[in-house]
């Protein structure tokens, strides 16, 4: 089906047109400029910007794809989880479009969008293992189908992307922190600072990143106190040590998630990563070798589809539609929506 997708759950306003696995248009308008002065995303500002920009994103996407709204088969929209004002803006816009055209409406879980994206660009069979690692999330999922996920574990505090961003802030590096920290780390010695590898002593696939951030802060303050500031070398070594700790923790927990996943005896075992942190070269390399060891295929969607976008929502919406899922004007916007609670009522109640 030809799907129009809308995404507005965080600080990117996006619209896309996707037919099957063909992305006809994908428009993403970021808001970093609007929030820069506040040191984080301001929900009210984000919601207002989404409400103002969604219509324009939709018409741009239609124009880029060279199709009219009439030709669209259904409208897919992120219905959660995310900042509620933004999610509401998207859901209201989608309802308006659906009511105006009489087309079906499909509410999509943002995390399902991320988790299904590898199938948009790769022939990946269910069930596959997914590591979703982004600015706001970190979890291991077994993806059995478009609406069938098992969560194996995830972070109990910060997401790794958030930790990269905070590290950059602590060291005076630019935002987003991930690419800046990775570039510094490439010049540094990962062995000089031995940062903790939290939760490795505990069974299971849960992760923690907040202690790492505290340890980094302590080392920085110690250096500043003893030598009056940070040298170039210090900054690079701190980044290298931090990145190595994140990589080691993610690699070891991935090993455990793989073991759990393999008990299902998948016919074509594979690990897919998604989310902005999947751009990290050191992490990719570590995950690839975990997969080589365990006999899994490793795959990662192109970066533009890893970070927030509406093509993933349109694609996931198409998969839901073909599954027979569609929603009506009672579709609720949900600030929280765990992926493995897909059975919870989507229609009607706002819970
Ligand atoms: P979510 O999708 O969970 O709501 P988000 O939209 O903020 O969160 P993404 O857009 O998927 O997350 O990813 C952004 C995050 O990825 C940022 O925290 C950024 O620092 C991180 N990131 C980007 N490139 C790299 C990199 N090379 N290494 C590590 N982290 C990176
Ligand atoms: Fe996201």
SS (H, E, C) 169-221: HHCCCCCCHHHHHHHHHCCCCCCCCCCCCCCCCCCCCCECCHHHHHHHHHHHH
Neighbours of ion ligand 2 (CB under 5 A): 308
C-beta 308 within 6 A of ligand 1: yes
265 CA to middle of ligand 1, Å?
A: 32
C-beta 307 within 6 A of ligand 1: yes
196 CA to middle of ligand 1, Å?
A: 22
C-beta 90 within 6 A of ligand 1: no
Among the bound ligands, name the one nearest to the CA of residue 175. Answer: 1
Specify the residue for token string 């990775």. 182
Q: For strand 105-109 and strand 128-133, is the pairing parallel, antiparallel, or unpaired?
A: unpaired
Q: What is the mean pLDDT of each run of 10 residues along the chain (351 residues)?
A: 96 95 96 79 86 95 98 98 95 98 97 95 96 94 95 95 95 92 98 92 91 94 95 97 97 97 96 93 97 97 90 98 96 91 41 33
Q: What's the Cα-to-Cα distance from 91 to each of 9, 77, 179, 258, rounded to whole Å?
A: 10, 6, 32, 36
C-beta 30 within 6 A of ligand 1: no
C-beta 81 within 6 A of ligand 1: no
Contacts for 61 with CB less than 8 Å, ≥ 6 apart: 4, 15, 16, 17, 25, 26, 27, 310
User: Do the annotations mark residue 177 as ligand-binding?
Assistant: no
Read off φ and ψ for residue 172, nearest 5 degrees: 75, 25
C-beta 234 within 6 A of ligand 1: no
Specify the residue for token string 């006999």. 295
C-beta 275 within 6 A of ligand 1: yes
C-beta 184 within 6 A of ligand 1: no
- The interface predicted TM-score (ipTM) is 0.98
User: Do the annotations mark residue 201 as ligand-binding?
Assistant: no
Q: What pLDDT shows up at residue 306?
A: 87
Q: What pLDDT shows up at residue 349?
A: 35
C-beta 246 within 6 A of ligand 1: no
Q: Which residues pair with 256 in a beta bridge?
A: none
Characterize 300-334 residue by residue with b for buried, 16 or more Cβ atoms within 10 angstroms of its Cβ, and e for exposed.
bbeeebbbbbbbbbbbbbbbbbeeebbbeeebbbb
Token digits for 46?
Answer: 């984000």
Q: What pLDDT shows up at residue 340?
A: 78
259 CA to middle of ligand 1, Å?
A: 26
Q: What pLDDT shows up at residue 39?
A: 72
User: Do the annotations mark residue 136 as ligand-binding?
Assistant: yes
* Nearest protein Cα to ligand 1, atom 5: 135
Contact yes or no for 109/143 (Cβ under 8 A)? no
Q: What pLDDT shows up at residue 55?
A: 96
User: Do the annotations mark residue 207 as ligand-binding?
Assistant: no
CA–CA separation, 349 and 80 (whole Å)? 14
322 CA to middle of ligand 2, Å?
A: 23
Q: What pLDDT shows up at residue 163?
A: 96
* Nearest protein Cα to ligand 1, atom 1: 136
Ligand 1 atom closest to residue 11's alpha carbon, by position in its atom list = 6
């Amino acid at each position: 089906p030809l799907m129009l997708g809308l995404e507005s759950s965080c600080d990117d306003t996006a619209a896309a047109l996707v037919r099957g696995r063909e992305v006809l248009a994908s428009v993403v308008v970021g808001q970093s400029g609007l929030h820069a002065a506040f040191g984080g995303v301001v929900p009210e500002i984000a919601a207002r910007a989404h409400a103002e920009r969604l219509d324009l994103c939709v018409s741009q996407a239609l124009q880029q794809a060279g199709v009219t709204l009439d030709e669209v088969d259904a409208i897919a929209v992120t219905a959660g989880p995310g900042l509620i004002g933004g999610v509401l803006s998207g859901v209201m816009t989608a309802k308006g479009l659906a009511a105006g055209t009489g087309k079906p409406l499909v509410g999509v879980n943002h995390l399902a969008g991320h988790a299904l994206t590898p199938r948009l660009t790769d022939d990946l069979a269910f069930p596959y293992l997914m590591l979703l690692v982004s600015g706001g999330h970190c979890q291991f999922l077994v993806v059995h189908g478009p609406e069938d996920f098992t969560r194996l574990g995830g972070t109990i505090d910060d997401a790794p992307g958030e930790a990269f961003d905070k590290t950059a802030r602590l060291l005076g590096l630019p935002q987003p922190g991930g690419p800046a920290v990775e570039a510094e780390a490439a010049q540094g010695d990962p062995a000089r600072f031995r940062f903790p590898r939290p939760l490795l002593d505990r069974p299971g696939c849960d992760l923690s990143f907040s202690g790492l951030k505290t340890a980094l802060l302590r080392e920085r303050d110690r250096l500043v106190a003893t030598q009056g500031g940070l040298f170039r070398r210090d900054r690079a070594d701190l980044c290298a040590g931090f990145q190595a700790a994140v990589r080691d923790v993610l690699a070891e927990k991935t090993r455990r998630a793989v073991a759990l996943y393999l008990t299902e005896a998948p016919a074509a075992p594979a690990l897919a990563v998604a989310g902005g942190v999947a751009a990290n070269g050191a992490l990719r390399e570590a995950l690839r070798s975990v997969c080589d060891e365990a006999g899994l295929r490793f795959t990662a969607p192109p970066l533009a589809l890893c970070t927030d976008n509406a093509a993933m929502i349109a694609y996931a919406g198409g998969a839901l539609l073909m599954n027979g899922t569609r929603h009506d004007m009672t579709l609720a916007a949900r600030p929280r929506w765990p992926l493995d609670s897909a059975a919870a009522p989507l229609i009607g109640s706002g819970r």
